[in-house]
Structure 1
Protein backbone atom coordinates (compact mmCIF):
# COMPACT_ATOMS: atom_id res chain seq x y z
CA UNK A 1 0.00 0.00 0.00
CA UNK A 2 1.64 3.19 -1.14
CA UNK A 3 -0.79 5.58 0.50
CA UNK A 4 0.01 7.07 3.92
CA UNK A 5 -1.28 4.94 6.79
CA UNK A 6 -3.23 6.67 9.55
CA UNK A 7 -3.94 5.47 13.12
CA UNK A 8 -6.85 3.07 13.58
CA UNK A 9 -8.69 1.59 16.57
CA UNK A 10 -10.05 -1.91 17.09
CA UNK A 11 -12.50 -2.69 19.91
CA UNK A 12 -14.03 -5.98 20.99
CA UNK A 13 -16.62 -7.16 23.49
CA UNK A 14 -17.51 -10.81 24.03
CA UNK A 15 -21.03 -10.29 25.33
CA UNK A 16 -23.54 -7.57 24.55
CA UNK A 17 -27.06 -8.30 25.73
CA UNK A 18 -29.80 -8.15 23.08
CA UNK A 19 -31.47 -5.16 24.78
CA UNK A 20 -28.16 -3.21 24.62
CA UNK A 21 -27.28 -3.99 21.00
CA UNK A 22 -29.78 -1.52 19.50
CA UNK A 23 -28.42 1.26 21.76
CA UNK A 24 -24.87 0.44 20.67
CA UNK A 25 -25.89 0.45 16.99
CA UNK A 26 -27.48 3.89 17.48
CA UNK A 27 -24.33 5.15 19.25
CA UNK A 28 -21.98 4.25 16.38
CA UNK A 29 -24.42 5.25 13.61
CA UNK A 30 -24.15 8.59 11.90
CA UNK A 31 -25.56 9.79 8.62
CA UNK A 32 -25.18 8.18 6.23
CA UNK A 33 -24.84 4.72 7.74
CA UNK A 34 -25.46 1.46 5.93
CA UNK A 35 -26.52 -1.93 7.28
CA UNK A 36 -25.85 -5.46 6.10
CA UNK A 37 -27.72 -8.26 7.89
CA UNK A 38 -27.20 -12.01 7.60
CA UNK A 39 -30.05 -14.39 8.31
CA UNK A 40 -29.91 -18.17 8.11
CA UNK A 41 -31.88 -18.10 4.85
CA UNK A 42 -30.77 -14.83 3.15
CA UNK A 43 -28.89 -11.55 3.40
CA UNK A 44 -30.43 -8.07 3.53
CA UNK A 45 -28.14 -6.43 1.02
CA UNK A 46 -26.75 -2.96 1.66
CA UNK A 47 -29.53 -0.88 3.25
CA UNK A 48 -29.56 2.65 4.59
CA UNK A 49 -32.70 2.17 6.66
CA UNK A 50 -32.04 1.11 10.25
CA UNK A 51 -33.35 -2.40 10.94
CA UNK A 52 -36.52 -2.65 13.03
CA UNK A 53 -35.46 -5.94 14.59
CA UNK A 54 -32.02 -7.33 15.32
CA UNK A 55 -32.78 -11.00 15.69
CA UNK A 56 -30.55 -11.81 12.74
CA UNK A 57 -27.65 -14.19 13.21
CA UNK A 58 -25.12 -11.46 12.44
CA UNK A 59 -24.85 -8.05 10.91
CA UNK A 60 -22.88 -4.88 10.51
CA UNK A 61 -23.38 -1.14 10.35
CA UNK A 62 -20.81 1.13 8.74
CA UNK A 63 -20.25 4.81 8.00
CA UNK A 64 -17.30 7.14 7.39
CA UNK A 65 -16.01 6.75 10.98
CA UNK A 66 -16.37 3.07 11.81
CA UNK A 67 -17.81 -0.34 11.10
CA UNK A 68 -19.49 -2.33 13.87
CA UNK A 69 -20.00 -6.08 13.42
CA UNK A 70 -22.12 -8.29 15.65
CA UNK A 71 -22.60 -12.03 15.77
CA UNK A 72 -25.21 -13.91 17.78
CA UNK A 73 -23.96 -16.15 20.56
CA UNK A 74 -26.05 -18.15 23.03
CA UNK A 75 -26.94 -15.36 25.46
CA UNK A 76 -26.34 -12.24 23.38
CA UNK A 77 -23.93 -10.89 20.78
CA UNK A 78 -20.19 -10.70 20.26
CA UNK A 79 -19.25 -7.26 18.87
CA UNK A 80 -16.24 -5.90 16.97
CA UNK A 81 -15.77 -2.19 16.19
CA UNK A 82 -13.23 -1.02 13.61
CA UNK A 83 -12.76 2.75 13.73
CA UNK A 84 -10.65 5.56 12.33
CA UNK A 85 -11.12 7.58 15.50
CA UNK A 86 -10.94 6.74 19.17
CA UNK A 87 -14.35 5.85 20.62
CA UNK A 88 -15.60 5.72 24.20
CA UNK A 89 -17.24 2.27 24.29
CA UNK A 90 -18.20 1.10 27.75
CA UNK A 91 -16.99 -2.41 28.68
CA UNK A 92 -15.13 -2.86 25.39
CA UNK A 93 -11.53 -3.96 25.26
CA UNK A 94 -9.24 -2.18 22.83
CA UNK A 95 -7.22 -4.78 20.93
CA UNK A 96 -3.54 -4.35 21.58
CA UNK A 97 -1.24 -3.46 18.77
CA UNK A 98 -0.36 -0.44 16.75
CA UNK A 99 -3.19 -0.29 14.20
CA UNK A 100 -2.80 1.64 10.97
CA UNK A 101 -5.49 2.12 8.35
CA UNK A 102 -5.87 3.11 4.73
CA UNK A 103 -8.96 3.33 2.51
CA UNK A 104 -9.30 1.76 -0.94
CA UNK A 105 -12.07 1.67 -3.53
CA UNK A 106 -14.60 -1.14 -3.20
CA UNK A 107 -15.71 -3.14 -6.22
CA UNK A 108 -19.28 -4.46 -6.33
CA UNK A 109 -20.31 -7.68 -7.98
CA UNK A 110 -23.15 -7.45 -10.44
CA UNK A 111 -26.36 -7.81 -8.34
CA UNK A 112 -27.78 -10.08 -11.06
CA UNK A 113 -25.05 -12.70 -10.58
CA UNK A 114 -26.19 -15.76 -8.60
CA UNK A 115 -23.75 -15.31 -5.69
CA UNK A 116 -26.61 -14.99 -3.20
CA UNK A 117 -29.60 -17.35 -3.41
CA UNK A 118 -32.24 -14.61 -3.11
CA UNK A 119 -30.31 -11.87 -4.88
CA UNK A 120 -28.47 -8.87 -3.50
CA UNK A 121 -30.11 -5.47 -3.12
CA UNK A 122 -29.13 -1.89 -2.38
CA UNK A 123 -31.79 0.27 -0.66
CA UNK A 124 -31.92 3.84 0.61
CA UNK A 125 -33.40 5.21 3.86
CA UNK A 126 -36.89 5.11 2.26
CA UNK A 127 -36.44 1.42 1.45
CA UNK A 128 -36.28 2.18 -2.29
CA UNK A 129 -33.76 0.59 -4.66
CA UNK A 130 -30.39 2.25 -5.14
CA UNK A 131 -27.90 1.83 -7.95
CA UNK A 132 -24.73 0.41 -6.33
CA UNK A 133 -22.68 2.85 -8.41
CA UNK A 134 -24.40 5.73 -6.58
CA UNK A 135 -23.10 4.58 -3.17
CA UNK A 136 -19.63 5.86 -2.37
CA UNK A 137 -18.49 2.86 -0.36
CA UNK A 138 -14.83 2.03 0.15
CA UNK A 139 -12.84 -0.62 2.00
CA UNK A 140 -10.74 0.29 5.03
CA UNK A 141 -7.74 -1.93 5.73
CA UNK A 142 -6.61 -2.40 9.36
CA UNK A 143 -2.95 -3.28 9.45
CA UNK A 144 -0.79 -4.21 12.43
CA UNK A 145 2.05 -1.69 12.03
CA UNK A 146 4.57 -3.97 13.76
CA UNK A 147 4.02 -6.96 11.46
CA UNK A 148 2.57 -5.22 8.34
CA UNK A 149 -0.21 -7.84 8.39
CA UNK A 150 -3.73 -6.79 7.43
CA UNK A 151 -6.08 -8.30 10.03
CA UNK A 152 -9.41 -6.67 9.13
CA UNK A 153 -11.07 -5.15 6.06
CA UNK A 154 -14.01 -2.92 6.97
CA UNK A 155 -16.55 -1.18 4.78
CA UNK A 156 -16.66 2.60 4.96
CA UNK A 157 -18.45 5.50 3.26
CA UNK A 158 -16.45 8.08 1.33
Structure 2
Protein backbone atom coordinates (compact mmCIF):
# COMPACT_ATOMS: atom_id res chain seq x y z
CA UNK A 1 0.00 0.00 0.00
CA UNK A 2 2.82 2.40 0.87
CA UNK A 3 4.55 1.57 -2.37
CA UNK A 4 1.39 2.30 -4.37
CA UNK A 5 0.96 5.61 -2.57
CA UNK A 6 4.63 6.39 -3.22
CA UNK A 7 4.12 5.79 -6.95
CA UNK A 8 0.86 7.73 -7.25
CA UNK A 9 1.90 10.80 -5.22
CA UNK A 10 4.25 12.31 -7.85
CA UNK A 11 1.60 11.81 -10.52
CA UNK A 12 -1.01 13.58 -8.39
CA UNK A 13 1.36 16.46 -7.63
CA UNK A 14 2.21 16.84 -11.32
CA UNK A 15 -1.49 16.81 -12.25
CA UNK A 16 -2.32 19.44 -9.64
CA UNK A 17 0.54 21.69 -10.71
CA UNK A 18 -0.32 21.37 -14.39
CA UNK A 19 -4.01 22.11 -13.85
CA UNK A 20 -3.19 25.09 -11.61
CA UNK A 21 -0.90 26.61 -14.25
CA UNK A 22 -3.07 26.21 -17.31
CA UNK A 23 -5.68 28.92 -17.91
CA UNK A 24 -9.31 28.02 -17.43
CA UNK A 25 -12.07 29.01 -19.81
CA UNK A 26 -13.08 31.72 -17.34
CA UNK A 27 -9.51 33.08 -17.47
CA UNK A 28 -9.66 33.18 -21.28
CA UNK A 29 -13.02 34.96 -21.10
CA UNK A 30 -11.68 37.58 -18.65
CA UNK A 31 -8.55 38.12 -20.80
CA UNK A 32 -10.76 38.67 -23.84
CA UNK A 33 -12.88 41.23 -21.96
CA UNK A 34 -9.70 43.01 -20.88
CA UNK A 35 -8.72 43.62 -24.51
CA UNK A 36 -11.77 45.89 -24.69
CA UNK A 37 -10.78 47.57 -21.40
CA UNK A 38 -13.72 45.99 -19.58
CA UNK A 39 -13.02 44.63 -16.11
CA UNK A 40 -16.34 45.11 -14.34
CA UNK A 41 -18.46 42.34 -15.90
CA UNK A 42 -19.06 39.55 -13.39
CA UNK A 43 -22.04 37.86 -15.08
CA UNK A 44 -21.77 34.28 -16.27
CA UNK A 45 -21.12 33.56 -19.91
CA UNK A 46 -21.98 30.98 -22.53
CA UNK A 47 -19.14 29.94 -24.77
CA UNK A 48 -19.15 28.25 -28.14
CA UNK A 49 -16.03 26.97 -29.77
CA UNK A 50 -15.71 25.62 -33.26
CA UNK A 51 -13.01 24.24 -35.46
CA UNK A 52 -12.22 25.14 -39.00
CA UNK A 53 -9.59 24.12 -41.49
CA UNK A 54 -8.87 27.81 -42.08
CA UNK A 55 -8.67 28.87 -38.40
CA UNK A 56 -6.66 27.85 -35.36
CA UNK A 57 -8.96 29.49 -32.85
CA UNK A 58 -12.66 30.26 -33.17
CA UNK A 59 -14.49 31.14 -29.96
CA UNK A 60 -17.60 33.17 -29.17
CA UNK A 61 -18.97 34.36 -25.83
CA UNK A 62 -22.49 35.47 -24.98
CA UNK A 63 -23.04 37.36 -21.72
CA UNK A 64 -26.38 38.48 -20.31
CA UNK A 65 -25.40 41.51 -18.25
CA UNK A 66 -27.15 42.88 -15.18
CA UNK A 67 -28.77 46.31 -15.17
CA UNK A 68 -25.84 47.71 -13.17
CA UNK A 69 -23.33 46.25 -15.66
CA UNK A 70 -25.44 47.59 -18.54
CA UNK A 71 -25.18 51.14 -17.20
CA UNK A 72 -21.41 50.81 -16.75
CA UNK A 73 -21.03 49.40 -20.27
CA UNK A 74 -22.99 52.25 -21.83
CA UNK A 75 -20.90 54.82 -19.90
CA UNK A 76 -17.73 53.02 -21.02
CA UNK A 77 -18.83 52.92 -24.66
CA UNK A 78 -19.94 56.56 -24.68
CA UNK A 79 -16.52 57.65 -23.43
CA UNK A 80 -14.99 56.10 -26.58
CA UNK A 81 -17.94 56.71 -28.93
CA UNK A 82 -17.01 57.43 -32.54
CA UNK A 83 -13.51 56.25 -31.72
CA UNK A 84 -12.95 52.65 -30.71
CA UNK A 85 -16.61 51.93 -29.89
CA UNK A 86 -19.16 52.74 -32.55
CA UNK A 87 -22.86 53.21 -31.96
CA UNK A 88 -25.40 51.14 -33.86
CA UNK A 89 -27.43 52.16 -35.94
CA UNK A 90 -25.36 55.33 -36.61
CA UNK A 91 -22.73 53.21 -38.35
CA UNK A 92 -25.05 50.56 -39.77
CA UNK A 93 -23.11 50.14 -43.03
CA UNK A 94 -19.87 49.57 -41.14
CA UNK A 95 -21.61 47.17 -38.78
CA UNK A 96 -22.92 45.23 -41.80
CA UNK A 97 -19.33 44.75 -43.02
CA UNK A 98 -18.42 43.27 -39.63
CA UNK A 99 -21.51 41.05 -39.68
CA UNK A 100 -20.61 39.66 -43.12
CA UNK A 101 -17.23 38.67 -41.69
CA UNK A 102 -18.83 37.10 -38.59
CA UNK A 103 -21.12 35.02 -40.80
CA UNK A 104 -18.11 33.80 -42.77
CA UNK A 105 -15.93 33.07 -39.72
CA UNK A 106 -18.50 31.95 -37.13
CA UNK A 107 -21.46 30.83 -39.23
CA UNK A 108 -23.77 33.41 -37.67
CA UNK A 109 -24.02 36.60 -35.67
CA UNK A 110 -26.66 38.34 -33.60
CA UNK A 111 -28.59 41.05 -35.43
CA UNK A 112 -28.58 44.23 -33.35
CA UNK A 113 -30.75 47.27 -34.00
CA UNK A 114 -29.32 49.43 -31.21
CA UNK A 115 -26.02 49.07 -29.38
CA UNK A 116 -22.26 49.35 -29.82
CA UNK A 117 -19.50 47.44 -31.55
CA UNK A 118 -15.70 47.43 -31.53
CA UNK A 119 -12.82 45.57 -33.14
CA UNK A 120 -9.52 44.54 -31.59
CA UNK A 121 -6.57 43.76 -33.85
CA UNK A 122 -4.59 40.92 -32.28
CA UNK A 123 -1.55 41.55 -34.50
CA UNK A 124 -1.05 45.20 -33.50
CA UNK A 125 -2.60 44.48 -30.07
CA UNK A 126 -4.91 47.47 -29.94
CA UNK A 127 -8.49 48.51 -30.37
CA UNK A 128 -9.15 49.71 -33.90
CA UNK A 129 -9.68 53.48 -33.73
CA UNK A 130 -12.07 55.36 -35.98
CA UNK A 131 -14.08 52.46 -37.31
CA UNK A 132 -15.33 53.57 -40.69
CA UNK A 133 -15.60 52.14 -44.19
CA UNK A 134 -11.92 52.76 -45.00
CA UNK A 135 -10.50 51.28 -41.79
CA UNK A 136 -12.81 48.27 -42.04
CA UNK A 137 -11.88 47.71 -45.69
CA UNK A 138 -8.21 47.56 -44.67
CA UNK A 139 -8.69 45.69 -41.38
CA UNK A 140 -6.92 42.33 -41.02
CA UNK A 141 -9.80 39.93 -40.39
CA UNK A 142 -7.40 36.99 -40.03
CA UNK A 143 -6.62 37.79 -36.38
CA UNK A 144 -9.25 39.78 -34.52
CA UNK A 145 -11.67 40.07 -31.64
CA UNK A 146 -15.06 41.70 -32.08
CA UNK A 147 -17.43 43.02 -29.44
CA UNK A 148 -21.13 43.71 -29.97
CA UNK A 149 -23.42 45.02 -27.25
CA UNK A 150 -27.18 44.77 -27.78
CA UNK A 151 -28.83 47.52 -25.73
CA UNK A 152 -32.33 46.09 -26.23
CA UNK A 153 -31.55 42.68 -24.71
CA UNK A 154 -28.65 43.63 -22.37
CA UNK A 155 -26.49 41.05 -24.12
CA UNK A 156 -22.79 41.31 -24.83
CA UNK A 157 -21.29 39.21 -27.64
CA UNK A 158 -17.56 38.70 -28.01
CA UNK A 159 -15.97 36.91 -30.95
CA UNK A 160 -12.36 35.72 -30.98
CA UNK A 161 -10.82 34.52 -34.26
CA UNK A 162 -7.31 33.49 -35.33
CA UNK A 163 -6.65 32.16 -38.81
CA UNK A 164 -4.19 29.38 -39.54
Instruction: Identify whether the pair has TM-score above 0.5, normalized to the shorter chain.
Output: no
- The TM-score, its normalising length taken from structure 2, stands at 0.29
Larger radius of gyration: 2
Which structure: greater strand fraction?
1
TM-score when scaled to structure 1?
0.30
Structure number with the higher helix fraction is: 2
